Amino acid sequence: MASQHRRRFLQSGLAAAAFATPLIGTAAARRAIAPRPIAPPPVAAIRRVALHNIHTNEAVDAVYWEKGAYVPDALSHVSHVLRDFRTGDVHPIDQRLLDLLDTLSARVETRRPFNVISGYRSPKTNAMLHETTPGVANNSLHMKGMAIDIRLEDVELAHLHRAAMSLKAGGVGFYPESNFVHVDVGPVRYWGAAAS
């Protein structure tokens, strides 16, 4: 009796094992052919900015971001080139402004340097310009290193203006009479004559 019971138990165990084997194999096969997740596109390895200060004739072409971090020496060099040329005062330039310029270069498909009409402005310079020049804000973002007035030799000003507005990254002013576009990393807003 015990022998029969043992035989039935072994037979049912073998049947269960035989039934389970294809399932295990199928699960393994499913794992082997399951699609792998698509990797996200690689982040740009470097960010670069090229600037030419038309007042001092100084230039910088620097990789200011690499290996996932901003490069302090490059940021210092940029801040020096963008100093208030009237007083010599240097102020740190907002890193987001450099990111905006790097993106804008790509948008207009140029690696030529931006000609800089105005970078950082000291409070003294800004107060003087506010009194003598229409359109200069009393609390200009130039005083915080968050704004820059630029043009490019190989890009039409109207095209640069439209490209800057398309980024929706801050303020954009159009000054065709003075031949520059203002960009900043403040709130998104637009002013000046429309670029057709």
Query: How does 110-123 read in b/e, with b if 16+ C-beta sit within 10 Å?
Result: beebbbbbbbbbbe
- 128 lies in the same domain as 153: yes
Q: What is the pLDDT of residue 19?
A: 42
- 59 lies in the same domain as 138: yes
Q: What is the pLDDT of residue 39?
A: 52
What is the span of the domain harbouring residue 100? 46-192
- 113 lies in the same domain as 152: yes
Q: pLDDT tens string for the chain (196 positions)?
A: 555 554 554 454 444 444 444 444 444 444 445 555 555 545 668 999 999 999 999 999 999 999 999 999 999 999 999 999 999 999 999 999 999 999 999 999 999 999 999 999 999 999 999 999 887 888 999 999 999 999 999 999 999 999 999 999 999 999 999 999 999 999 999 999 764 4
Output the domain CATH number for residue 87: 3.30.1380.10
- 34 lies in the same domain as 50: no
Q: What is the pLDDT of residue 135?
A: 78
- 35 lies in the same domain as 97: no
- 119 lies in the same domain as 150: yes
User: 174 pairs with which residues across the strands?
Assistant: 181, 192
Tokens of 180: 């520059």
* Single pTM value for the model: 0.76
CB count within 10 Å of CB 186 equals 15
Tokens of 92: 């740190």
| Four-residue CA torsion sign, 21, 27, 30, 34 | negative
- 35 lies in the same domain as 129: no
- 73 lies in the same domain as 10: no
What is the number of domains present in the chain? 2
DSSP structural state of residue 143: G
- 51 lies in the same domain as 19: no
- 117 lies in the same domain as 136: yes
User: 118 pairs with which residues across the strands?
Assistant: 149
Strand runs labelled E in the chain: 46-53, 59-66, 69-70, 114-118, 147-151, 171-175, 180-184, 189-192
- 123 lies in the same domain as 169: yes
- 52 lies in the same domain as 6: no
Q: What is the pLDDT of residue 42?
A: 54
Cα 85 from Cα 130, distance rounded (Å): 17
